[in-house]
Amino acid sequence: MSVTENLNIDALTQAALEARGLAMDGVAAANSGHLGLPLGTAECGAALFGHCLQYNPADPKWLNRDRFILSAGHGSMFLYSWLHLAGFDLSLDEVKNFRQLGSKTPGHPEYGETDGVEATTGPLGQGTGNIVGYACSQKMLQARFDNPAEPLFDYHCVALAGDGCLQEGISAEAAAYAARFGLDNLIMFYDSNDVTLDAMADKTQSENTADRYEAYGWDVTVLPDGHDIKAIVEAYDKAKADDNGRPKLIILKTEIGRGIPEVAGTNKAHGEGGVKFIEADRLALGLPEERFYVSEDTKAFFAARTAALKEQYDEWQKKFAVWKGSNPEQAKLLEDGVAHKHATEQELLKTIPEFDPEKKLATRAAGEAVLNAVAAACPLVTSGSADLHGSTKNYIKGVGDFDVDNYAGRNFHYGIREHAMGAIMNGIAYDGIFKTSGATFLTFSDYMRPSVRLAALAHLPTFYIWTHDSVGVGEDGPTHQPVEHVAALRCIPNLDVIRPADPEETAAAYAAAVERADGPTALILSRQGVPTLKCTPVETRRQGTLKGGYIIKKETAPLEMILIGTGSELQHCLVAAKELGDGCRVVSMPCQERFERQDASYQEEVLPASCTKRLSIEAGITFGWQKFVGLQGKALGTDTFGISAPGDIVMEKFGMTADNVVKTAKSL
């Protein structure tokens, strides 16, 4: 059958026109937004949602749907218009409520807010990494669960990006990764309209994008007329059929703001600059005076398409039911993955052996043992590193590497691509089957920060393994010694930041990260060895870590002072407490966020308001500790950049010692 058989050009052309009208009306009603992309890519939307993509609006999370991401999220009215026309749970009233409080049509697409939105996009380039993550997830899904003789999971991962997305460095990282790992299930459309926000694109770019992507290892198709629906469909179907180990880029040469001739083809079309012309231009296009107009013909066309897609969906569900009956254990594992049921904290702690109390061990090294125990208990947990497995110690043994010859492998080699690693991890997490983690040095968490922020915003259950956590890194010097990073990460809402003090706290930190389903977790681990803190039972340290903070040494006389520590500095609090007397309490605070989620009575039990003599110590900037030590307390930290010297000498230089804790505490 020809790929264009049953292709109703007239109906799709009419739908594209009406989608343009919806975009115009939505932006005009909000008096803000971006018209350029929705108007310039209306024919692409018609081809995708009206003919090419496989979906069921009644089951927006169907496992075998094609995944579509609008990377250029500022053009959100493109996505909202097509989701409405295609029958997703997005009413015309919601479209009319574009960018208003409480609507399902926020200014940029937000995952979890609107059915059919596969990723939170807007920061340019993020979607180009997210779609790579989706493609990785599918490859793993096929390798782990599919029957090669009769594939179940044969969908494709599709994105629409613009010049801004491809200018961002993250897109280059993601593109190189996608080609190296053979993601031929990935199809990306590039809305090449030669315009950016400030000026024409040639003001800031001169490269040949097609040649660049071919050099990465992509198949590239250029459509000189990006408004030709038939050509778009043919290019898509060719890309879909070519499972040749190469991701696909389809370049659409389009006119930005098409339909508003006063600004079309110029940078003035990017935002809402064309709104003042739309009253006359809508009529010139053939739209009626009625705003937010959808014709009965277009409604009928998409109703028929939905019915046809439903038939395909029903047939697939029958095959899936047969597969589940034949593979009950696999089916249960898959269902648990989709439900984010990997293991509870308590179940995981039972699988993690206690550590030798006499052995000094870096928390990154303890993390290696813990991760491998966790991975054995949770088959859908994956790990990755930005070319630092040997240092970050997060390689899962015996499960192989994710690669073109083994997509079932659970270790990801991201290369020196921290930002793309974060966005790819987000894509895997958006797909909602595998529990994904990634690692690098803490100082390079800055390279990942935009992706981490979006993970927190979208409530993605990723976790990060950031090692070499302080000036204790030593000889590599201030470029590699993170001082502000832990505090900066704590500023991100919905991100749990856990800095364990010893191997047993590390065990609990991993358990917490794996169980958490409503947001990401950052594990902050040391390069240098730390003692196992024998003053408190293992169970106390593990359960206390899950609560974020706990009493690790209780006073034996009336309470006079509280010392609070995290990570490698907690040991100094315990030593100092012996000299400070029986009225000194020591509190371990590995995770401020988890502690602040405890009820008020528990917080008061650990940090009674009556005790105002408080001292905290952490080898990082002191910002943020005031809320725990109060106005009469003191925070010890490293409030300047580090220095190059052996780690123990650097720590002593910055006062990260028991002697300095004693000296400072006595001055309170």
Tell me the C-alpha distance between 230 and 360, whole Å.
Answer: 67
Q: What would the pLDDT profile of 203-237 be if each residue is shown by its tens digit? A: 888 899 999 999 999 999 999 999 999 999 999 99
Tell me the C-alpha distance between 537 and 329, whole Å.
Answer: 37
**565 Rama class: left (phi>0) / alpha (psi -120 to 50) / beta:** beta
Tell me the C-alpha distance between 362 and 281, whole Å.
Answer: 67
Mean pLDDT of the chain: 96
560 SS3 class: coil
Whether 370 contacts 510, CB under 8 Å: yes
421 confidence band (pLDDT: 50, 70, 90) = very high
User: HEC profile for 229-253?
Assistant: HHHHHHHHHHHHHCCCCCCEEEEEE
Which of the 8 DSSP states describes residue 533? -
**Residue whose pair of structure tokens reads 């574009």 in the numeric block:** 98
**pLDDT at residue number 3:** 65
| Spatial strand order in the sheet of 584-588 | 550-553, 584-588, 561-565, 614-617, 634-636
**Residue whose pair of structure tokens reads 């026109």 in the numeric block:** 17
Mean pLDDT across 324-351: 96
Tell me: pLDDT of 296 over 60: yes
Tell me the C-alpha distance between 67 and 62, whole Å.
Answer: 10
Tell me the C-alpha distance between 662 and 657, whole Å.
Answer: 9
Tell me the C-alpha distance between 41 and 39, whole Å.
Answer: 6
Read off φ and ψ for residue 375, nearest 5 degrees: -65, -35
Tally of residues, the chain: 668
Tell me: pLDDT of 1 over 50: no
295 SS3 class: coil
Mean pLDDT across 68-82: 98
Whether 532 contacts 503, CB under 8 Å: yes
Q: What would the pLDDT profile of 252-294 be if each residue is shown by its tens digit? A: 999 999 999 999 888 887 888 889 999 999 999 999 999 999 9
Tell me the C-alpha distance between 402 and 136, whole Å.
Answer: 9
Tell me the C-alpha distance between 423 and 460, whole Å.
Answer: 11
User: Tokens at residue 452, please?
Assistant: 């981490």
Mean pLDDT across 359-379: 97
Whether 239 contacts 219, CB under 8 Å: yes
Amino acid at 521: T
Contacts of 70 (CB under 8 A, 6+ apart): 76, 78, 79, 109, 121, 127, 159, 160
**pLDDT at residue number 497:** 98
**pLDDT at residue number 2:** 56
Whether 369 contacts 506, CB under 8 Å: no
Between strands 529-530 and 496-498, the pairing is: unpaired
User: Tokens at residue 281, please?
Assistant: 């231009």
Domains in the chain, CATH or no CATH each = 9-312 (3.40.50.970), 345-530 (3.40.50.970), 545-666 (3.40.50.920)
How wide is the angle at C-alpha 156 spanned by C-alphas 171 and 67, nearest 5°? Answer: 75
Tell me the C-alpha distance between 562 and 612, whole Å.
Answer: 8
**pLDDT at residue number 5:** 75
Tell me the C-alpha distance between 325 and 331, whole Å.
Answer: 8
Tell me: pLDDT of 589 over 80: yes
Mean pLDDT across 88-105: 97
Active-site residues, by number, are 418
**pLDDT at residue number 389:** 97
Whether 188 contacts 219, CB under 8 Å: no
The span from the first CA to the last CA of the chain, in angstroms, equals 83
Whether 527 contacts 467, CB under 8 Å: yes
DSSP symbols for 255-283: -TTTT-TTTTTSGGGSSSTTGGGHHHHHH
Whether 252 contacts 209, CB under 8 Å: no
Tell me the C-alpha distance between 214 and 221, whole Å.
Answer: 10
Tell me the C-alpha distance between 206 and 617, whole Å.
Answer: 51
Measured over the CA atoms of residue 97, residue 103, residue 104 and residue 106, the dihedral's sign is positive
Tell me: pLDDT of 460 over 50: yes
Q: What would the pLDDT profile of 600-625 be if each residue is shown by its tens digit? A: 999 999 999 999 999 999 999 999 99
**pLDDT at residue number 203:** 86
Mean pLDDT across 332-347: 96
148 confidence band (pLDDT: 50, 70, 90) = confident
User: Tokens at residue 531, please?
Assistant: 């003692």
Q: What would the pLDDT profile of 563-583 be if each residue is shown by its tens digit? A: 999 999 999 999 999 999 999
**pLDDT at residue number 269:** 79
Count of alpha carbons within 13 Å of 84, Cβ hemisphere only? 30
Q: What would the pLDDT profile of 2-48 be if each residue is shown by its tens digit? A: 566 789 999 999 999 999 999 999 999 999 999 999 999 999 999 99
**6 Rama class: left (phi>0) / alpha (psi -120 to 50) / beta:** left
Instruction: Spell 70-95 as b/e; 16+ CB within 10 A means b.
Output: bbbbbbbbbbbbbbbbbbbebeeebb
Considering the entire predicted model, what is its pTM? 0.97
Read off φ and ψ for residue 496, nearest 5 degrees: -80, 125
Beta-carbon count within 10 A of 525 CB = 29
**Distances from the Cα of 399 to the Cαs of 68, 177, 270, 379, 406, in angstroms?**
30, 21, 48, 10, 10
User: Tokens at residue 77, please?
Assistant: 């009215």
